[in-house]
Structure 1
Amino acid sequence: MTGPHAAVSSLAALRERLGEERLYVRYSEGPDDDRAGGSIDTESGLELPGLSVNPLDPEPWWTRPVEDWLARQLCQYKHLRDRNPERRAWLVCGDVVGRGPDCEPLLADAEFLAVLDDGVLAEAERRYRDHFDAGRGPE
């Protein structure tokens, strides 16, 4: 893991980072904390073989704007940050070594590329609220 670079402050800036390598968001205290102890499945208590992340690259079936995908992905686990102000949203890449209990990718050799600042998270929340019917399940 390497140290973080400059902050990403908008969904447009985040979109510009997509493409060269698979990118993920990780909510954590940061590289030093993650190096000291990885992800744990809280229900079983088992240590996972990599860091829990959420993918930021849209799936091939996604036909809506990329910013909609990014907003949805950033908001899926934002509650982890909301519960612990020490946690930040980190832009990371690495090798997928498995799936966690929520089918999330698990990364080994994670590289922390940037921090996602509060502005991009607020923009993602607004877009998610305005463009999605969140909380509505299958009928």
Structure 2
Amino acid sequence: MFTVHGLTELADLIETGTPLYVRYSPGPEADAAHPSTDHESGLLMPGVSANSLEPPGWWTRPVADWLARRICQYLREVHEGARPWLLTGRETDFGPDNEPLLADIQPIAWIAPELLDEARERYRARFNAGRSTH
């Protein structure tokens, strides 16, 4: 797999029209060897959990803002040994956090550490993270 190094490069990939998702795990080979399991119930899931990188229709800010936000949602997993990567596949259902579950996955690219740093900086600078909804 190739590696995506910046938000602009990632935004260019989004614009190709292929549905892209981000996943934090040891990688495609490890995921293929072990079926995804809901950790709380112990049930096998019909696909791997991932998060869509496609901005929703209501999003009017730059695509790079959306990507930074999505990339930053699971950064804690990097500290737990996971590695972020891009994939595409067929949505089969939804996981316990309402995330899409993908089957027939096709690995696309690794996400470079410098992209994570850029996303973190952009997210902090452009969002009011942690703001209450009330």
TM over 0.5: yes
For 1:16 and 1:113, the matched residues in 2 are separated by 14
Deviation at 1:31, TM superposition (A): 1.2
Secondary structure, aligned partner of 2:107: strand
Deviation at 1:74, TM superposition (A): 0.5
Deviation at 1:110, TM superposition (A): 0.8
Residue 12 of structure 2 corresponds to residue 16 of structure 1: yes
Name the aligned partner's letter for residue 101 of structure 1.
Answer: P
Deviation per residue, 1:71-121 (Å, 9 max, x gap): 01001112111222xx21111000000111111011001111100000101
Secondary structure, aligned partner of 2:67: helix
Deviation at 1:10, TM superposition (A): 0.1
Name the aligned partner's letter for residue 15 of structure 1.
Answer: A
Unaligned residue ranges in structure 2 (runs of 5+)? none
Deviation at 1:38, TM superposition (A): 2.7
Name the aligned partner's letter for residue 96 of structure 1.
Answer: E
Structure 1 stretches of at least 4 aligned residues deviating more than 2 Å after TM superposition: none
For 1:43 and 1:79, the matched residues in 2 are separated by 19
Residue 109 of structure 2 corresponds to residue 114 of structure 1: yes
Unaligned residue ranges in structure 1 (runs of 5+)? none
Question: What does 1:1-139 correspond to in 2, within 5 Å?
Answer: 5-18=1-14, 19-84=16-81, 87-139=82-134
Deviation at 1:137, TM superposition (A): 2.2
How many correspondences in the alignment?
Answer: 133
Deviation at 1:8, TM superposition (A): 0.1
Deviation at 1:20, TM superposition (A): 2.1
Name the aligned partner's letter for residue 44 of structure 2.
Answer: E
Deviation per residue, 1:41-100 (Å, 9 max, x gap): 11112121111101101011101110010001001112111222xx21111000000111
Name the aligned partner's letter for residue 3 of structure 2.
Answer: A
TM-score by length of 2: 0.95
